[in-house]
Structure 1
């Protein structure tokens, strides 16, 4: 997991062959005016979605992980709390892995919580189980899905 601000995104482009294109996309758009919806960047290898939803209580947050994609989650507005735990420490899956949606949920609880605000991002790798959208009020965010 990596947490930083968009101003420092250039530091991470060498970590994955598709990160440079992902961060170029983020620089090319106006985060303040982008509408909710899905956006293709590079086919199934790189795509984004924007949402503006009411935050949830930590106990109601979905605790999830992915196998085929890395998430770059950007807070556009609001304050988004997130929970995190290494996947190796999660022992209580909630059902089977959904291959079509590339997600598995867990009943386990996060080891730690942190908060993102405007212009901050987090990168979640498949080994990062995460609980997003924790907070009060509307949280507007953008998630770039990066094919491994």
Structure 2
């Protein structure tokens, strides 16, 4: 997992060919005015724009998840968003079977930690990062890039 601000995004371009494309998209568009929805930017890079009410920690961790085929780049646009996190190798209580179609695997495990993103900060979550997001109060706006491994 990586947590940083958009100001430092260029440091991570070399980690995956589509990281630069994702951050270029952020720099070349008015991300605050993006409407909710999902679409493909280029092969192997999808964007999901989310506007929604923040949830409690208890509610959010019901969706404690990780992915096998994608890396998430989650960027806070509006509101302080808290995330739950735990390394996948420590998760021992699956919550259902892996969905290949949705590329998601859920767990009943409790998080090891919580961290908060402020506006214009991001988290890069790899397949080994089990996470739950959208923890907070009030309206949260964010972008999630799905980067195919």
Q: TM-score range by the shorter chain?
A: over 0.9
**In angstroms, what is the RMSD of aligned CA positions?**
0.8
Structure 1 stretches of 4+ with a deviation exceeding 3 A read none
Partner of 2:55: 56
After TM superposition, list the pairs within 5 Å mapping 1:1-148 onto structure 2: 1-43=1-43, 45-61=44-60, 62-148=63-149
Distance in 2, Cα, partners of 1:74 & 1:20: 14
Distance in 2, Cα, partners of 1:51 & 1:89: 29
TM-score (norm 2): 0.96
Give secondary structure in 2 for the equivalent of 1:73.
strand
Greater helix content: 2
What stretches of structure 1 of length at least 5 have no aligned partner? none
When the two structures are aligned, how many residues end up with a matched partner?
Answer: 147
TM-score (norm 1): 0.97
What stretches of structure 2 of length at least 5 have no aligned partner? none
- 1:39 deviates by 2.8
